[in-house]
């Protein structure tokens, strides 16, 4: 995948809270650590040349509805046939493996918040064509609970949703949903526990929600979180809901 045209320069850490990529231009003259492998990138890029060559959007057959399940002869996966989600279509851009997965884990868990603007820029240049041709009216990040933000103040879905909204010329509506329960992290839970963990975890804005929404999250596995968030939006009157995840993981526990 050719990333030469993407603005994937690593910004200075002090600018991260302001979601600024502009300061990253100054880092062109300084070597930085590749967000995936840790090798120095003398051009200031987020990924070294070797890792850039490994970055490719997902390929292969997958459910045309949820984008995480295995398609059947009827098209949709068994999960979507048995319990259709409230969203009309989901898009998962990368596998939660390789450089993208490494960078995302580094940003979330290992003290590399500068990964977020770089991943947002990467998502901007790899958005599905279907979204570019038919953009939503509003982009909504999957919200984190305030207690989670106090423990780990990096709001990854909001970072990504901000980049997506800019790319699509859509409104960013970050208060359309609230996470009303401080749920356990989905990572490490079995599939059944994931569904129970996020059931009724979201509440819509009492002032109303947009009618045409793109819901954005960082990682989808079973799709339980995105389904629960979409259900809350649909119950509040959203008529068209699509969802977008930066990465898809096939590892449940």
Name the residue with higher pLDDT: 17 or 167: 167
Whether 76 is covered by a domain: the verdict is yes
Average model confidence (pLDDT) for the chain? 85
Number of domains, the chain: 1
- pTM comes to 0.86
Whether 67 is covered by a domain: the verdict is yes
Q: Are 204 and 177 in contact (CB under 8 A)?
A: yes
What mean pLDDT is predicted for residues 141-163?
90
Name the residue with higher pLDDT: 91 or 194: 91
Position 183 confidence tier, pLDDT thresholds 50, 70, 90: confident
What mean pLDDT is predicted for residues 167-181?
95
Whether 225 is covered by a domain: the verdict is yes
In this predicted structure, the answer to whether residue 28 has a pLDDT above a threshold of 60 is no
- Alpha-carbon span 141 to 78, nearest angstrom: 27
For residue 1, CA distances in Å to 5, 12, 49, 50, 95 come to 11, 26, 11, 12, 14
Please choose, from the candidates 253, 140, 116, 141, the residue with its C-alpha nearest in 3D space to the C-alpha of residue 197: 253
Instruction: Mean pLDDT check: name the lowest of 40-44, 178-182, 202-206, 238-242.
Output: 40-44
Count of alpha carbons within 13 Å of 200, Cβ hemisphere only?
0
Task: Go through 209-235 and write b for each residue having 16 or more CB atoms within 10 A of its CB, e for each that does not.
Answer: bbeebbbbbbbbbbbbbbbbbbbbbbe
Name the residue with higher pLDDT: 10 or 75: 75
Most distant CA pair in the chain, distance: 55
What CATH number does residue 140 fall under? 3.40.50
Please tell me the predicted confidence (pLDDT) of residue 187: 67
Whether 31 is covered by a domain: the verdict is no
- Alpha-carbon span 129 to 2, nearest angstrom: 17
- Alpha-carbon span 28 to 95, nearest angstrom: 28
Q: What is the DSSP string of 163-181?
A: HHHHHHT-EE-TTSEEE-S
Please tell me the predicted confidence (pLDDT) of residue 164: 97
Whether 186 is covered by a domain: the verdict is yes
Range of the domain at 83: 57-248
Whether 150 is covered by a domain: the verdict is yes
Give tens-digit pLDDT for 33-68: 999 999 998 878 899 999 999 999 999 889 999 998
What mean pLDDT is predicted for residues 76-96?
94
Which residues neighbour 185 within 8 Å (Cβ) at sequence distance 6 or greater? none
In this predicted structure, the answer to whether residue 31 has a pLDDT above a threshold of 70 is no
- Alpha-carbon span 139 to 166, nearest angstrom: 10
Please tell me the predicted confidence (pLDDT) of residue 29: 46
- Alpha-carbon span 143 to 25, nearest angstrom: 30
In this predicted structure, the answer to whether residue 13 has a pLDDT above a threshold of 80 is no
In this predicted structure, the answer to whether residue 111 has a pLDDT above a threshold of 90 is no
- Alpha-carbon span 182 to 148, nearest angstrom: 7
Q: What is the DSSP letter of 13?
A: G
Give tens-digit pLDDT for 207-243: 999 999 999 999 998 888 999 999 999 999 999 999 9
Q: Which residue has the tokens 């051009």?
A: 43
Whether 24 is covered by a domain: the verdict is no
């Amino acid at each position: 995948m050719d990333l030469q045209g993407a603005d994937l320069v690593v910004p200075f850490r002090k600018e991260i809270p302001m979601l600024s990529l502009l300061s990253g231009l100054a880092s062109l003259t300084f070597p930085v650590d590749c967000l995936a492998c840790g090798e120095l990138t003398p051009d200031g890029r987020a990924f070294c040349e070797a890792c850039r060559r490994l970055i490719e959007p997902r390929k292969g057959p997958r459910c045309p509805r949820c984008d995480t399940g295995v398609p059947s002869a009827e098209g949709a996966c068994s999960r979507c046939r048995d319990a259709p989600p409230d969203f009309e279509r989901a898009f998962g851009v990368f596998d939660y493996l390789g450089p993208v997965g490494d960078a995302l884990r580094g940003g979330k868990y290992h003290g590399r918040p500068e990964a977020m603007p770089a991943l947002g820029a990467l998502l901007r240049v790899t958005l599905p064509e279907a979204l570019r041709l038919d953009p939503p009216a509003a982009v909504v990040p999957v919200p984190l609970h305030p207690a989670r933000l106090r423990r780990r103040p990096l709001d990854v879905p909001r970072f990504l949703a901000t980049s997506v909204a800019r790319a699509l010329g859509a409104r960013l509506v970050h208060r359309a949903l609230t996470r009303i329960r401080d749920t356990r992290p989905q990572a490490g839970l079995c599939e059944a526990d994931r569904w129970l963990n996020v059931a009724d975890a979201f509440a819509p804005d009492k002032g109303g929600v947009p009618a045409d929404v793109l819901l954005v999250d960082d990682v989808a596995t079973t799709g339980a979180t995105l389904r629960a968030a979409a259900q809350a939006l649909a119950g509040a009157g959203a008529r068209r809901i699509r969802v977008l995840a930066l990465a898809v993981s096939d590892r449940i526990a």
